[in-house]
Amino acid sequence: MLNRPLLVAVLLLPLLLAWDMSRADLALAKLLGSSAGFALRENAVLVQVLHRGGRIAAGCVLAAQAVHAAWPVHAGTPGRAERVLWLLVTLAVWVAVSWIKSASLSSCPWDLAAFGGSADYVGHWTAWQNAIADGGPGRCFPSGHAVAGFAFFSLAFLWRRHRPQRAARFAAAALIAGAVFGAAQVLRGAHFVSHVLWSAWFCWLLFAGVAAAADGVFSARRPATA
């Protein structure tokens, strides 16, 4: 039987596929850009604060997670092995999404001819399944920058058996951060909405799969009050 996190991933999959089939990606991009490009592509807040600043913030959180992995263990907190595991899985999800993106044949919205570039629109799954390049540089699916937030779903999984309320707060923070970082890139024309949604789903699925295996290894503890 699927555990709850894996069940969430399964239930969300049809919604993501429905979004892809709706072609809402292109329709929304046309509301944000034109043949002259995307007006917000070089917006200072989106570029300096949410893009570059987001990377710095993610690096700081990752560093804090690494320090926590080495921190003394107290009653009611995750053990050292759990902390190290979820630190490694956080790094793994970044590597996994980066690898998928590097192999992608789908180009970014700002590379499409409709927005001043040279590429044609080809759905990312069509490109993967049939090895159809769109005439652009590719390497755009899914959203790598959104992972700067979604990667920290790992903190929710780290704490979920120990302090559920804290885990819920971490999950909400990671979701909000990933959505904000992803939205910034959508507004700039760097990604379609689906790129962000799939990044969130990939991250959650990986973490849920690891949790399903890890729950059988680490002994359950009584949740403490967060």
Contact 204, 153 (CB under 8 A): yes
- Name which of 176, 125, 134, 130 is nearest 152 in CA terms: 176
* Tokens read off for 47: 């570029």
Give domain limits for the chain. Answer: 4-29+41-104+138-214
Distances (CA, A) of 208 to 24, 46, 169: 28, 31, 17
Helix boundaries (H) for the chain: 4-22, 24-32, 44, 53-70, 80-103, 124-130, 147-150, 153-159, 164-188, 193-214
Q: How far apart are CA 150 and CA 204, in angstroms?
A: 8
| pLDDT one digit per residue (tens) for the chain, 226 residues | 568 999 999 999 999 999 998 989 999 999 999 999 999 999 999 999 999 999 999 999 999 999 999 999 888 899 999 999 999 999 999 999 999 999 999 999 999 999 999 999 988 887 776 677 888 999 999 999 999 999 999 999 999 989 999 999 999 999 999 999 999 999 999 999 999 999 999 999 999 999 998 877 775 444 444 3
Q: How far apart are CA 98 and CA 181, in angstroms?
A: 16
| pTM (two decimals) | 0.92
